[in-house]
Amino acid sequence: MKLSLCTISFRHHLISLKQVVEWAAQRGFSGIELWGVHAINLRDRPGYDLDWLRSQGLCVPMLSDYLPVQGDRQAVMDKTVDLCRLAQSWGASKLRTFAGNQASQEVSVEDRRDWTLRMRELCNIAEGHGVKLVVELHPHTLADTRESTRQLIEEINHPALRLNFDVLHVWESGADPFEVIGEFEPLVAHMHLKNVRSRSFLQEFLPGNVYRPAATAPAW
């Protein structure tokens, strides 16, 4: 198994990418999963590029971000193109996103249709850049249960669609991770592993907390 370290884990810390990369390289990691915000901020930083990362024996398997399924269509399309180009510049073949920000059981039939149509458009853009759009199995999204994830795959129905199998969140949903990965294995392109000692810390991973600069920091 190739292990990568995700820079979003350090969003609460004043740690440079250089420090993260050196730490990961010394401990046998094979890659750095770049948060989209970090990739954007590094765009104009000379010396911080794919060649530098490769010199450390590392790669970028995936950029991780959040692409809205609502709001201004052109803005989302432009953001997706930009992130796909950044993924290309880092040699990443995958772009991670969430399937919305609302629990599947709370989404109306009309909204679900609109969201999945939007995600199919995003898949088209990703495919045009040689990138897979990787949807994370995550609470409060259209991929928050086994059944809804299965439906989502059928609704999007696109060859560029892949899944990020987050073991913690599948367990959190009440499903058996072994059974779920057995069903979706052909589309699983990436996995997220987390070490959490109590369910009381699960709120740390809500999208609204993960992507908020002033969010609470994990204390595991």
What positions carry a catalytic annotation? 138
Query: Residue 134 pairs with which residues in a beta bridge?
Result: 96, 162
181-185, long-range: CB within 8 Å, 24+ apart, which pairs?
Answer: 183/146, 183/150, 184/149, 184/150, 184/153
User: In sequence order, what are the residues at sequence separation of 6 or more whose Cβ sits closer than 8 angstroms to the Cβ of residue 91?
Assistant: 50, 59, 60
Q: What order do you get walking across the sheet with 31-35 strand by strand?
A: 4-6, 31-35, 62-64, 94-97, 132-136, 161-166, 188-192
Integer CA distances (angstroms), 128 to 79, 111, 124, 132, 158, in order: 14, 26, 6, 10, 12
Q: What is the Cβ-side half-sphere exposure of residue 219, based on CA atoms within 13 angstroms?
A: 3
What's the rounded Cα separation, in Å, for the pair 121 and 123?
Answer: 5
User: In sequence order, what are the residues at sequence separation of 6 or more whose Cβ sits closer than 8 angstroms to the Cβ of residue 9?
Assistant: none
What's the rounded Cα separation, in Å, for the pair 139 and 166?
Answer: 10
Helix extents (H) in 135-215: 146-156, 167-172, 177-184, 207-210
